[in-house]
Every structure is written in structure tokens, then in C-alpha cells.
Amino acid sequence: MLRPILLLLSLTAALSAQEITVPQFTFPDSTYRVGQVIYIGNEVTKYYIIEQEMTLKPGSLITYTDLQYDINRIYSLRLFTKVHIDVLPDSGGTATLSVQVAERWFFYPFPVLGIKDRDFTKIYYGAGLAHNNVAGDNVQLYGAFAIGYDPFVSINYINPQIDPVNRLFFSFRAYYTEQRNRSLVSLAGAPNFDERRSGAEITVGRRFSLFTLVTMKAEFLNLSVTDNRAGRTLSPGGRDEFYSLHTAYFYDSRDLKEYATLGSLISFGISKYGLFEQDVDYQRYSFDLRTFIPVREELTMAGRMFGNFAYGGTVPNYGHTFFGYSERVRGHFNTILEGEHIAGAVVEAHLPIISPRYIRFEKIPFEQFKDMRYALNAAVFADAGNTWHRTEPTALNRWYSGYGAGLHLLLGYSAVARVEFAVPYGSPFSQGEIILDLGAAL
């Protein structure tokens, strides 16, 4: 919600920015092993929050690849505007790692300004209050409201280590929103309507290793429609109230989560919608597989395959899967596809034009915004995907696909902006489309 504001702040301050030169190492790779690790600049953040993201431990062989990997992992905590690691040789073939960070702004009121479903005509705006590092433990507590498209109010609490010894995760969310109907099946030629949703969810999990997390979520949803017609809810009265259970497995070894250059994300999920109700009773099974492979000369090949499939009882129209909202097929960016199942694939190649570096905005009054990381990549890509109902067959020749190229700009506070040109597969370039979007595509 805050990223568009931070993106604008970074761009408007660029004229007063001074690039920071990062010292280069003067010794051969794999010369030293880690003796000790010291932390500098984490005035609020506790050291173990940083330590648990690092692969380099006392006794580890120090390589340039591992240093850059750990820098990106620490930056992915989204607690720091700047991360740097110095190698300070000791005697006897060991070296001290000096981890230097500059902390972000943690407690602040903030404007809520964003777009819904990656559509710049669907603007919402409001305000919120956040603390993103309560007690220095990476605990997030924030509340926000917005009006405009799909107005909402919500409160969120996320504690990635409520029990540090057993590495237990806990989060809570409560919300109310008036969400515009997305289902073309529900619309069926009638005027569109709103879904009024209120609910709460509690998630618990355990982090078994640096990369592995297993979660279990319990959720309650109360959903009603402003214009009740057949099929818009499973209950004939126009209101569905039900509990759900969701379990998920995550393996995430990506170096930089908002725009990775190395590592993988593997996730599997099982959801049961409706526990004690007669009207709502169905299941969903999902997977999301992403990999990022350095090839040569900083070129990265990236790929994603994902799917979400329904089984059991009747799936309500508001529970359908879609392309054209949060998920898109470039080349058919504004085409809405609806079904009970969804599957898709993305392939991208990223070549840095400007490798990640830092600039300093001296004229910005807040220290937390002075140091900003930025990078610029060229990319080529190909997308494919489709949705379908259980009563329909699926075939590859029915899938929507497209390809293209673009520029990806990475800015401070984990903001990513993309300018791309995409063409539907099999169509002339004259039928291509220009895409302006926020966030990485995979």
C-alpha cells in the first residue's frame, strides 16, 4: 500500500542523489573462513533477526557468491534501506564479517494509496498506522482503512517468531471490505453488485530451517451480496457464513524475494472450505514452483509454474479462479478468464543494465530514507495460462499465451516497477500492448 508513495519519493529526489561507492574485495575468492560476525547499525533490530537469515556461519568458507546471497537475504527482511558486509581478515586464515545495515522507518502513520487487481482505473486511498519492527523482533502490527474502489478496514498482527526456541510463527487478521464482484458468471448480463465481506483468520506455523516453513490457518468468512440472485451465494438467502482450514508448505531459498536472481520457491497448499455448514463444502489444492538460475555474465533465467484446483462440492462463483486480476497473461493482460481451476507458466530472462547499488538522498530530512537501493534490468518473457470448469476438458491449444520484452526498475523499500511490451502468441506486433505494472511478474 505504501510502495507507490515511496516509489514517487525516490524518483522525485533523484536529482539530489549521490551515488555511494561500495569497496571491492582485494583478496582471492575462498581465501578465509568466518571467525566471528559483528553487526553494526541495527539500533532497534535484534542481531539474531539478521543472523538467522545468513548462510555464512563461524567456520564457513567465505565466497563472493555467499556474501552477495546473504546481503540479499538480509535486505529481503524489509527492515533495512541498506545492507553491506565487510570482510576483515584476522590471523590464521579466518576473517571477521562486519554486517552493516541502515534501518528503515519502523513506526509511522502512512497514506494508503494503491490500485486493485493491477488496474490503474481501480484506485483506493485512505490512511493507516504501522509498526514494522515491534521490540526489534521483526513483529508487524498495523491497521488501515481505505475508500474508493473496494473500500476496506483491517487490522493485522504478524510475529515470525512468537517462540524463538521452537521457531514458531503466528499471525492474526480481522477485516471488513466491500468488494466489487469479479465473476462474469455471477454478472450474467445483470448490473454489477458488491460482496460485503467480514472475517478473521489466525495462522500458526513452524520454521523448520532457514528455508522451510509449514503453516496452518483457520478462517471465518461472512459474505453477503447487495443484489441477491441465483448462484451468487450458495445459500439461497444471499449470505454465506463458513469456516475454513488451510495448510501450506513453503521452501524459499530466493536471495531477494521481490526480484530474485538465485534460488527457488516451492509451495503446496490444501484448503477445506466449510467445516460445519451444509451449503459450503469443497476443497482446493494448489502449488507454486519458481526457480531463478544464474547463467552467465549476470544473466538470470527465471521460471514459474502454478495451479489451483477445486474438488468436492459446489464452488461458489466468488470462489472461482481468475486471470485478468491479480494473475495475468501478458499479451492478454486485460482479458478476464474465469473457472474452477487455474494453471499457468512464466519464463523470463533478466539481464542487468544497472547492477544493484545505493544512492544517498542528502536533501531528504529523514535518515531512514537517505540511503536507497536501486537497479535496472532488461527482460524478455513468455506467459501461458488458462482457467476451466470441472465439466470442461483442458487442452494446451486452448491456452492463452504471449511474449515480449521490457525494463524492470528496482527502487528502495522493495518497490519494483515494470514497463513492458507484450504480443499475443501468433499475432502480429501491431496487436501488442504496452504494460505499466508494479511488482515482479514471478
User: Max CA-CA distance within the chain?
Assistant: 78
CA distance linking residue 442 with residue 426, whole number of Å? 24
Specify whether the CB–CB gap between 83 and 74 falls below 8 A. yes
Residue 352, pLDDT above cutoff 90: yes
* pLDDT classification of 121: cutoffs 50, 70, 90: confident
Give residue 8's identity as a one-letter amino acid code: L
List pLDDT tens digits, range 421-442. Answer: 999 999 999 999 999 998 999 9
39 within domain boundaries: yes
Domain span holding position 84: 32-102
194 within domain boundaries: no
Domain closes at, from 102, 127, 159: 102
What CATH number is attached to the domain comprising 76?
3.10.20.310
pLDDT higher at 59 or 31: 59
Residue 32, pLDDT above cutoff 70: yes
Domain count, the chain: 2
225 within domain boundaries: no
78 within domain boundaries: yes
371 within domain boundaries: yes
CA distance linking residue 414 with residue 282, whole number of Å? 37
Domain closes at, from 67, 102, 137: 102
237 within domain boundaries: no
338 within domain boundaries: yes
List pLDDT tens digits, range 364-407. Answer: 777 767 778 899 999 999 999 999 998 887 666 689 999 999 99
74 within domain boundaries: yes
Domain closes at, from 78, 102, 126: 102
